[in-house]
C-alpha cells in the first residue's frame, strides 16, 4: 500500500489558480465516490481557501497510474494545460510528511496556525462518514493530528499572535485585564475589520457593534456573526461615548474621527487604529481617558513573533520527522499484512484437512481430538513463524516487495496488495 498526496496550495499557485480547483462539500463527496469507483482504495479531499488536496491510499504497484489520475483531475478542473506547474504530487514518506506538516500548520501561510487542524479533521470525518477512509488514511490522519497537538502543547508555536489585528486585540485584553462584559465598536468591512469582528465575536463582550460608510455592506458582514449590532455611520461619534474599545480599519483617505467632534469622555477608551492613512486624529490620543494604538506600534511585535515562530518551527519539524519515521515503520509492517493473512489462511486449511483425515482413520475421544488439534496447529504455526518474523524485519521497501512476491509465487497466492 502507498500513500499519495496531490495538492494545489498557496506555495504552488496564486489565489486565482486555487479558486479553479476549490470544492464545495457536495463536490468533494462526488469526487471521492468517483475515485472509489475508479479503484482507489481510500481517499480524503481537503479544500480550504489556501489549498485543495487529495490524499489517497492505493496499491503500491499502481501508484504512478493513480498519481497521474489525480493530477489529471486538477488539470481538468482548471481547463488549462499550463496548470500542471501549480500541482504538487508526492508519495510514500514524502506524502506522509506533507500531511503531518499540513496538520501542524508548518505548511500554512501563517506559520503554526490552528485553523487548518480543524479543517483537516472535518475532511477526514466527511470521508469516514461515506466510507472513503480506511485503515491506512485513518491512522495517517489521526497520527498527524496527534503530532500537531503535541507540537502545540510542547512548544506552543501557535500562542504568539502574528497578525497586527490579533496582536492589537491581545494588547487591549492585557490592558483591560479581560474583555468580558466590555463594549466594542468596529469600523470598516475590509480584511482587518472582518478579522477584528471575528476575534471579538469569540469573546464574552457585553455588546459588539460595527459600522461602515456603506450601510448595506455593514449589514452583510454583520450577518456572518452572532449578536453583532450594526449602527449608522453617522452615529459613530455618539456611540463612541459609550464604548470601551474602538477598532477602526477603513480605507478612507482622511481622518474619520476628529478630536473636535468628540464630546467629553466619561470613561476610559482604548483605540486600535489599523488604518493607513490613519482613521483617528492623533490629538484624540492625547486625552487622559484615551489609549491610542496604531499599526506602527504593533508591527514590531508582529515581526518579533514571526521570528519566534520560525525558530520554534525548527523544533516542530524535528518532531514531525520523528513521528513520520515511526509511522513509516508501521506502514512497512502493514505492507506484509495481506501476504501474512493469506499464509495464515493456507495454514488453517492444511490444519483442517489434516485433522479431518486423521479423525477418519483414528478413533479418539474428545480429549484426544483436542490435544491432537493443538499439536497440529502448533506445528504448522512453528513452520511459518520464522518466515513471517524475517519478512517483518526487512526495512528496505523494494527488498520486502521482492520477498512478498516470492512468497506469493511459492505458495501460489494471487497477487494483491
* Grid cell locating 175: 490592558
Angle at 106 between CA 162 and CA 1, to 5 degrees: 160
What percent of the chain clears pLDDT 70, i.e. is strictly above it? Answer: 97
| Average pLDDT of the segment spanning 385-407 | 74
φ, ψ dihedrals at 51, nearest 5°: -165, 145
Mean pLDDT over residues 255-273, rounded?
92
Checking if the pLDDT of 225 tops 90, the result is no
- Mean pLDDT (whole number) for 221-233: 89
What is the pTM (predicted TM-score) of this model?
A: 0.63
Residues in Cβ contact with 23 at an 8 Å cutoff, skipping those fewer than 6 apart: 31, 45, 47, 52
Instruction: Considering only residues 392 and 102, tell me which one the structure prediction assigns the higher pLDDT.
Output: 102
Please check whether residue 325 is in contact with residue 147, taking contact to mean a CB–CB distance below 8 angstroms.
no
17 and 9 Cβ atoms separated by less than 8 Å: no
3-state secondary structure of 237: helix
Q: How many helices (H) and strands (E) does the chain have?
A: 14, 10
Check whether 261 has a pLDDT greater than 90: yes
Integer Cα distance of 130 and 149 in angstroms: 26
What is the per-residue pLDDT across 141-162, written as a single tens digit (0 to 9) for each? 999 999 999 999 998 887 766 6
Tell me how far apart the alpha carbons of residues 388 and 338 are, in angstroms, rounded to a whole number.
12
172 exposure class (CB count in 10 Å sphere: 0-12, 13-18, 19+) = buried
- Is the preceding peptide bond at 277 cis, omega within 30 degrees of 0? yes
> Residue 397's pLDDT band (boundaries 50, 70, 90)?
low
Question: Minimum mean pLDDT among 31-45, 72-86, 142-156, 399-413: which range?
Answer: 399-413
Supply 311's cell numbers.
525558530
Query: Would you state the pLDDT for residue 345?
Result: 84
3-class secondary-structure state, position 250: coil
Residue predicted with more confidence, 230 or 337: 230
- The pair phi, psi for residue 170, each rounded to 5°, is -60, -40
**Mean pLDDT of the region 263-292:** 92
pLDDT at 253: 87
Give 408's Cβ-side CA count (13 Å radius): 15
* pLDDT classification of 387: cutoffs 50, 70, 90: confident
Average pLDDT over residues 31-54: 95
Tell me which of 28-37, 94-103, 225-234, 390-399 is least confident. Answer: 390-399
- Helix residue ranges per DSSP H, 82-178: 92-103, 115-129, 135-154, 164-176
Domains of the chain: 2-158+308-333 (3.30.460.30), 164-288 (3.40.50.720), 336-410 (no CATH)
Highest mean pLDDT range out of 110-114, 153-157, 398-402? 153-157
Cell numbers that stand for 402 in this block: 521482492
CB contact at 8 A, 212 and 185: no
Q: Roughly what angle, to the nearest 10 degrees, separates helices 191-201 and 215-222? A: 40
The mean pLDDT value of the chain amounts to 88
Highest mean pLDDT range out of 269-273, 325-329, 391-395?
269-273
Phi, psi of 42 (to 5 degrees): -140, 145
Q: How confident is the model at residue 255 (pLDDT cuts 50, 70, 90)?
A: very high
Q: What are the start-end ranges of the E strands in 233-339?
A: 245-248, 269-273, 290-294
Confidence of residue 128 (pLDDT cuts 50, 70, 90): very high
Exposure of 120 by Cβ count < 10 A (0-12 exposed, 13-18 middle, 19+ buried)? buried
Residue 103 has pLDDT above 70, yes or no: yes
Sheet harboring 228-230: ordered strands across? 228-230, 207-211, 183-187, 245-248, 269-273, 290-294
Q: What distance, in Å, lies between the first and last C-alpha atoms of the chain?
A: 6
- For the annotated catalytic residues, the residue numbers are 49
Q: Using CA atoms, how far apart are residues 111 and 157, in angstroms rounded to an integer?
A: 8
Q: Is the pLDDT of residue 416 over 60?
A: no
Contact 177, 153 (CB under 8 A): no
Give pLDDT tens digits for 201-212: 888 899 999 999
Residue 74 to residues 12, 229, 279, 335, Cα–Cα distance (Å):
13, 42, 44, 29
The model's pLDDT over 349-373, given as tens digits with 9 standing for 90+, comes to 888 888 889 888 888 888 888 888 8
> From the centroid of its chain, how far is CA 126?
13
Stretch 293-307: mean pLDDT, rounded? 77
φ and ψ of 54, to 5 deg? -115, 125
Distance CA 61, CA 67 (A): 12
Q: Which tops the pLDDT comparison, 378 or 140?
A: 140
Question: What is the per-residue pLDDT for 389?
Answer: 76
**Cα atoms in the 13 Å half-sphere on the side-chain side of 21:** 33
Under DSSP, the state recorded for 412 is T
Amino acid at each position: 500500500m502507498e500513500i499519495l498526496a496531490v495538492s494545489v496550495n498557496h506555495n504552488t499557485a496564486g489565489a486565482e489558480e486555487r479558486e479553479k480547483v476549490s470544492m464545495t462539500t457536495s463536490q468533494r463527496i462526488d469526487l471521492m465516490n468517483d475515485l472509489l469507483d475508479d479503484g482507489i482504495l481510500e481517499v480524503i479531499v481537503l479544500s480550504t481557501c489556501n489549498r485543495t488536496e487529495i490524499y489517497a491510499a492505493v496499491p503500491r504497484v499502481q501508484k504512478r497510474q493513480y498519481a497521474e489520475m489525480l493530477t489529471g483531475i486538477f488539470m481538468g478542473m482548471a481547463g488549462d494545460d499550463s496548470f500542471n506547474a501549480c500541482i504538487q504530487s508526492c508519495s510514500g514518506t514524502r506524502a506522509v510528511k506533507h500531511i503531518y506538516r499540513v496538520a501542524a500548520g508548518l505548511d500554512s501561510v501563517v506559520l503554526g496556525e490552528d485553523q487548518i487542524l480543524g479543517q483537516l479533521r472535518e475532511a477526514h470525518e466527511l470521508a469516514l462518514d461515506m466510507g472513503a477512509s480506511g485503515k491506512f488514511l485513518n491512522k495517517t490522519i489521526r497520527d498527524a493530528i496527534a503530532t500537531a497537538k503535541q507540537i502545540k502543547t510542547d512548544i506552543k508555536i501557535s500562542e504568539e499572535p502574528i497578525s497586527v489585528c490579533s496582536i492589537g486585540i491581545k494588547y487591549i485584553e492585557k490592558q483591560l485585564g479581560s474583555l468580558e462584559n466590555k463594549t466594542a465598536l468596529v469600523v470598516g468591512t475590509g480584511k482587518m475589520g472582518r478579522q477584528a469582528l471575528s476575534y471579538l465575536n469569540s469573546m464574552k463582550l457585553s455588546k459588539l457593534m460595527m459600522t461602515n460608510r456603506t450601510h448595506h455592506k455593514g449589514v452583510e458582514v454583520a450577518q456572518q456573526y452572532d449578536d453583532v449590532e450594526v449602527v449608522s455611520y453617522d452615529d459613530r461619534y455618539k456611540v463612541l461615548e459609550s464604548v470601551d474599545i474602538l477598532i477602526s480599519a477603513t480605507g478612507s483617505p482622511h481622518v474619520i474621527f476628529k478630536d473636535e467632534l468628540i464630546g467629553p469622555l466619561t470613561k476610559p477608551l482604548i483605540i486600535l487604529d489599523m488604518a493607513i492613512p490613519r482613521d483617528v486624529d492623533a490629538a484624540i490620543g492625547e486625552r487622559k481617558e484615551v489609549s491610542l494604538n496604531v499599526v506602527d506600534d504593533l508591527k514590531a511585535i508582529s515581526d518579533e513573533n514571526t521570528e519566534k515562530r520560525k525558530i520554534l518551527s525548527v523544533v516542530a519539524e524535528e518532531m514531525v520527522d520523528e513521528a513520520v519515521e515511526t509511522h513509516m515503520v508501521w506502514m512497512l509492517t502493514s505492507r506484509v499484512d495481506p501476504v501474512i493473512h493469506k499464509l495464515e489462511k493456507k495454514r488453517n486449511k492444511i490444519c483442517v484437512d489434516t485433522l479431518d483425515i486423521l479423525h477418519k482413520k483414528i478413533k479418539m475421544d474428545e480429549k484426544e481430538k483436542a490435544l491432537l488439534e493443538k499439536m497440529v496447529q502448533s506445528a504448522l504455526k512453528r513452520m511459518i513463524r520464522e518466515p513471517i518474523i524475517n519478512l517483518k524485519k526487512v526495512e528496505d521497501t523494494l527488498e520486502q516487495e521482492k520477498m512478498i512476491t516470492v512468497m506469493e509465487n511459492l505458495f501460489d497466492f494471487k497477487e494483491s496488495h
